[in-house]
Amino acid sequence: MAKTSKTWHGIPREEIPWFPTVDNDTCIGCTLCYVSCGRAVYEMQDNKAVVENPYNCMVGCSTCATVCPVEAITFPGRELIWNIEREHKIFKIVRQEAKEKMVKAEISNARSEAQAYIAQLITHARMEVAGQFGEKRFLIKLKDLVDERPYDIVNLQLDVPTVQGLKENTPAILSFEVTSTQQEDIQEFLSEIRTLVKENDLILISENNL
C-alpha cells in the first residue's frame, strides 16, 4: 500500500479510512474503475482491479462503485466522514480554505479580464496612402502629429511612379507603420492620421493591425 503525505482539510489523509474495497471474486476485470478514476487508485493485475494507492482516493467520492457493473466495489458508510468532520472540527479550516479559493478566483478573473483588455489593444499598425506628396507637405504634418507624443512612425517608404508617370501626376504610394512608444493603444491616433489623410486629399488604401 503506497503512503501519502496529503491532508484532507488539515487531517492527515492516512487517518481517514475512505477508499474502495474490491471483492476479488465478484470483479470481472472490465477495467471501468481503473479507467474512471483520475487519481491512480487502481491497478489491473491478473485481470482484476486492485486498490494500489488507497489514500489517493478523494474523500467522499464513490464514482467507481457507482459505475462498477457487478457491484464489486464497496466503501465505508457516509457516517465515517460525518464523524471525522465533527471530531476534527474541520469547518474553521474549511472556511479559511473557501476564503483562499475565492481570492484565487478573483485574482484569476482579474487576470483574465486584463488579458482580454490587452488582447484588444492595437499598438502597431501599417498604413498605405496614395496621392500626390509634392513638397512633402503630408510628411511634415505627420511629423507634427507625432511630436512630443507617445507614438512613432517607422519604416516609411515612398513608392514614386515612373518618371513618365510623375509627369502625368500618377499618384505615389506612401507606406508606414504606426507604433506606440509605451505599448499603449493607438486607435485614437490612427483616427487622427485618417483625418489628416482626408484633409490632404489623399486616399487611405490599406490599414492593417500588426
Which residues of this protein are in contact with ligand SF4, per CB under 6 A?
A: 20, 22, 27-33, 36-37, 39, 41, 49, 57-58, 61-64, 68, 70, 72-73
Residue whose cell numbers read 493485475: 45
* Length of the chain (residues): 210
Nearer to ligand SF4, 34 or 128 (CB): 34
CB of 103 to ligand SF4, least distance (A): 27
The Cα 2–Cα 13 span in angstroms is: 12
Q: Provide the 8-state DSSP code for 90.
A: T
Closer by beta carbon to ligand SF4, 85 or else 177: 85
Query: b vs e for 74-113, b when ≥16 Cβ sit within 10 Å of the residue's Cβ?
Result: ebeeeeebeebbeebebeeeeeeeeeeeeeeeeeeeeeee
Shortest Cβ distance from residue 13 to ligand SF4 (Å)?
Answer: 12
Do the beta carbons of residue 33 and residue 68 sit within 8 Å?
A: yes
73 closest CA partner among 28, 106, 39, 117 = 28
CB closer to ligand SF4 out of 31 and 96 = 31
Q: Smallest gap, in angstroms, from Cβ of residue 12 to ligand SF4?
A: 17
Question: Whole-angstrom distance between the N-terminal and C-terminal Cα of the chain?
Answer: 58
Q: Cβ of residue 74: shortest distance to ligand SF4, in angstroms?
A: 10
In the bound state with ligand SF4, the residue whose beta carbon lies nearer, of 54 and 174, is 54
Angle (CA) 38-42-43 rounded to 5° is: 125
CA–CA separation, 35 and 43 (whole Å): 10
Q: How far is the CB of 31 from ligand SF4 (least distance, A)?
A: 5
In whole angstroms, how close is the CB of 126 to ligand SF4 at the nearest point?
A: 55
- Cβ distance to ligand SF4 smaller for residue 36 or 209: 36
Q: Identify which of residues 85 and 192 has a Cβ nearer to ligand SF4 in the complex.
A: 85
Burial label for 49, CB within 10 Å (0-12, 13-18, 19+), is buried
